[in-house]
Structure 1
């Protein structure tokens, strides 16, 4: 969760700087952080699915 918050904050900061300065590098930075955020969210989703499957597997073993 910490990484996702960090990537969101950095994206917003970079976009704010881009709006103020018009410097394309700030836009590229924001784009980079959004991509990292997307990867982190996909990983979190996969880990949730794995945990859910482990729970189902344990339930099956018990019954």
Structure 2
């Protein structure tokens, strides 16, 4: 059961990353909202895999 959660977490992290990257440079409120949804999904997947959430500024790797 643990390995299934890991795969699920990895999928969430990857999907969140893609969504964040797709919308992070948008200027509209909708783009900013979707980029935040992507960050939230990525961090949810990281937490499921036992990793700490990313809290740095997007795009800086900090």
Structure 1, gaps ≥5 residues long:
47-63
TM-score by length of 1: 0.57
Q: CA deviation at 1:5?
A: 1.4
Structure 2, gaps ≥5 residues long:
1-9, 52-62
Aligned residue pairs total 42
Q: CA deviation at 1:24?
A: 1.1
CA RMSD of aligned residues (A): 1.6
Q: Distance in 2 between matches of 1:36 and 1:8?
A: 8
| Alpha-carbon displacement from aligned partner over 1:4-56 (angstroms, at most 9, x marks no partner) | 1121011011113x1xxx2111001110110111111111118xxxxxxxxxx
| Larger relative helix fraction | 1
- Higher-RCO chain (CA-CA 8 Å, sequence separation at least 6): 2
Deviant stretches of 4+, over 3 Å: none
Report if the CA contact (8 A) 2:15-2:41 is conserved. no
The structure having more radius of gyration, on CA atoms, is 1
